Structure 1
């Protein structure tokens, strides 16, 4: 391990979420400008449900790297908007499975379009090789901390 590495403030800021925060803010703005009433945090829950309905709150917590109380709050707010429903699992009454409502299915394309637009805005001017190098670096960092 190279203990002589010196990191500047920008590097620490980058690794602690500066970029992800900027992307989340832009996504939120893009949603709002296009009449989408969910938050970027809620979108992260919906993203996984659009891929696989019936996930448990525990599954969603793991997939989104959030704690269970945060996921429960997000789910409750999405229930209030009638975007998803929470049902008791038949095998274990302590476990809830999360399903999309018709509205939850209907908003998928509009939300995904805005998410793709946001990523395109964020990645403007970045070539494919640089993206692959950044992905490799971030995977290494992530795996070091597992």
Structure 2
């Protein structure tokens, strides 16, 4: 064991996924505080779903699972919460009676419209000191890591 603390590193210090995890956790906490400060009862996951639905088109719950990397039970739970708040509506899929389509309601669109300026302002603070190239590099790196993971994944065995 080295006596120089600067040379002592643990596996976690070289695990970039740990930094992604830490940053993700802080972003979630930051979002929760923002919503509380603006007296808005909305989780980050619910906000993501409202954004996915914001184009006004109805989508299947399966599409939401695919686009959000959430599993079916989580999507169902999130949609239940949004539906109780009258922010989304579920209807029987006319092409498959076993499925539902989901759409944003007027109240959901209004809430999203209210929170978007808050989120855009918060982004400025979160990304302060970063150049556009930095953000583009971060996105490209994240997409590459995601692609690497998905290429080696056997989806038939997942969740």
Q: Does TM-score exceed 0.5, indicating one fold?
A: yes
Segments of 5+ residues of structure 2 without an aligned counterpart are 1-10, 151-159
Q: Does 1:12 align with 2:17?
A: yes
2 CA distance for matches of 1:28 and 1:78?
Answer: 16
1 CA distance for matches of 2:16 and 2:112?
Answer: 35
Q: Give the alignment's Cα RMSD to 1 decimal.
A: 1.7
TM-score by length of 2: 0.80
Larger radius of gyration: 2
SS of the equivalent of 2:102 reads: strand
SS of the equivalent of 1:107 reads: helix
TM-score by length of 1: 0.87
Segments of 5+ residues of structure 1 without an aligned counterpart are 1-5
Asked if the contact 1:23/1:119 (under 8 Å) is kept, the reply is no
2 CA distance for matches of 1:10 and 1:115?
Answer: 29
Asked if the contact 2:61/2:102 (under 8 Å) is kept, the reply is yes
Q: CA deviation at 1:10?
A: 5.8
Moved over 3 A (4+): none
Deviations 1:84-137 (A, max 9, x none): 111001110111001122211211211212222232221111112222222221
SS of the equivalent of 1:138 reads: helix
- Count how many residue pairs are aligned between Structure 1 and Structure 2: 140
Higher relative contact order (CA 8 A, sep 6+): 1
